Amino acid sequence: MKVNNKVIEIQNYLPHRSPMLMVDIITEINQKSVTTNFEVKRDNLFIVDGVLTESGLIENAAQTCSAIVGQNFFFDENQEERQDVDVIGFISSIKKITVFKLPKVDQTIQTEGTLISKMDGEGFSICVIAVSSYVDQEKLLEAEMNLFLQKQ
C-alpha cells in the first residue's frame, strides 16, 4: 500500500493484530480522514451464517477510525517510524449508529472515517469520529463514535 508515495504497513496505524485485525489496506489517510478496504472472509471471528455480524461491522469501523489518531503514535513529526510502540485502543462510546445492511462473505467493505474532534494528553488521545461503510456504494453503516488510544 502506498500513502504519500511511501510503502506503509497497516500495522503502523493500528494496534490490532490477527485474528482481530479487521482492515486489509488503508487506501487514503491524512490527519483528518481515512479510507480502508476489508474483504470479509469465511474464517472471520464475526461470521454467522455467511454474514459479518453487526459487531464485526462496528469493529471494522472503529479500526478504520483509529488509524487517523494511531498514526500520531507510530510516526514522529518528521514521519519517521517509531520503533517498539505499544498502543491500546478501544471504543469509549457510540453516540449514534445505524446499520443498514450486513456484508456477506467474499464482499469487500470500504470504510471512510472523518475526524470531528480530538483531545491529546500525555500519551493518550480521545477523539470523536464520523464513519460510514459501503459495499459497492451501498451504505452498510453510519455512525459517530468516541475512541480512546493510549501508549503503554
CB 67 within 8 A of CB 112: no
Which amino acid is present at 59?
A: E
Residue 1 CB-density burial (10 A; 0-12 exposed, 13-18 middle, 19+ buried): middle
pLDDT at 7: 38
Q: Which pLDDT value is given to residue 20?
A: 84
Alpha carbon distance, N-terminus to C-terminus of the chain: 27
pLDDT along the chain (152 residues), means of 10: 48 70 90 94 96 97 88 66 69 94 98 95 91 97 93 77
Tell me which residue of 9, 24, 20, 149 sits closest to 86, measured CA to CA.
149
> Nearest-5° angle of CA 98, CA 100, CA 106?
125
The pLDDT assigned to 85 comes to: 64
C-alpha cell at position 21? 485485525
DSSP for 5-22, written as a single string:
TEE--GGGT----TTS--
- Hey, what domains does the chain have and what are their CATH numbers? 2-151 (3.10.129.10)
Q: 24: number of CA atoms within 13 Å, CB side?
A: 10
pLDDT digits (tens, 9 = 90+) for 26-55: 889 898 999 999 999 999 999 999 999 999
